Homo-oligomer: A and B are copies of this chain.
Amino acid sequence: MLLRIVSEDSGQGLTLSNITKTIGLKLSTTHRILSSLVEEGLLGLNPETKCYRPGFLLFELGRSANQFMIRDIYRPALERIAKKTRDTAYLVIRDGYDSLCIDRVEGTAPLRLMLDVGARRPLGMGAASLSLFAFSSDKTVEKILRFNEMRFREHSGMGIADMRKLIALCRQKGYTLTAGVVDRGVTGIGVPLYDRKNKIRGAISVAAISEKIDKTRYDDIAVLIKAEVDKTYHPPN
């Protein structure tokens, strides 16, 4: 909690009393924990202003999370996609049997946000999420189907047979499409992202309320996403 609170501040840092108010712990408790975090280097303390800021260790630990660097790589592509489609563009990665949304650029069209950055869903539930899944090897697909069977049913009412049909259709199209079948009233179009070794590293999707994405646009949007993805320079590793 403390790390989050201090990190969310974008200014000159937060004072102890400030942080204490936010977190709702006792002053002495907050002070002790903050001191420990400073001692370890997770936070820094400006001795003049007595303000706490993110520390060097936090920076270093963060850099070790290489897998998420994909976010920096595809940020510009995501922005262009959102701008051109006017819908919200998502960057999603696989995390075990979940998909994890790691970036989002909102479109200009008025629409309710579906997926927050940091949100986790069963792998396959959502256009990008489905891209991570449907374009994997048959063996992987089977494993995920088995593991997530109950979660699919719970989330969308779809059974294994429905999912298999959906995957087959998407593979044929070359992109994933969830026109209301995963989330009621939501249509998404997803494309997988491959690294230089042809391994799936993530997926980008565009999603909006179904009324806003006409059937005739499906292919166009997929082509648009693929074009922006192809334009993107993906460094080795």
Which residues does A use to contact B, with CB under 8 Å? 3-4, 7-8, 10, 41, 44-48, 53-68, 71, 95-97, 100, 102, 118, 143
Contacts and interface: CB of A to CB of B under 8 A. Distances in A.
A136 to B, nearest CB: 12
19 contacts: A3-B61, A4-B57, A10-B64, A41-B118, A44-B95, A45-B96, A46-B96, A47-B97, A48-B143, A53-B65, A54-B65, A56-B68, A58-B61, A58-B62, A58-B64, A58-B65, A59-B68, A61-B61, A61-B62
A10 B95 CA distance: 17
Given A4-B57, A61-B61, 7 more contacts: A10-B64, A48-B143, A54-B62, A56-B65, A56-B68, A58-B65, A61-B62
Contacts of A61: 3-4, 7, 54, 58, 61-62
A192 B53 CA distance: 22
A128 to B, nearest CB: 15
Q: Give the residue among A44, A56, A143 with the most B Cβ atoms within 10 A.
A: A56
Contacts of A65: 7, 53-56, 58-59, 62
A47 B64 CA distance: 20
B96 A48 contact: yes
Nearest to A97: B47
A34 to B, nearest CB: 14
Contacts of A45: 96
A56 B100 contact: yes
A201 to B, nearest CB: 14
B62 A59 contact: yes
5 tightest A-B CB contacts, nearest first:
A62-B62, A7-B64, A54-B65, A59-B65, A59-B68
A86 to B, nearest CB: 27
A47 B96 CA distance: 6
Contacts of A97: 47
Contacts of A96: 44-48
A57 B117 CA distance: 11
A76 to B, nearest CB: 15
B102 A7 contact: no
Nearest to A41: B118
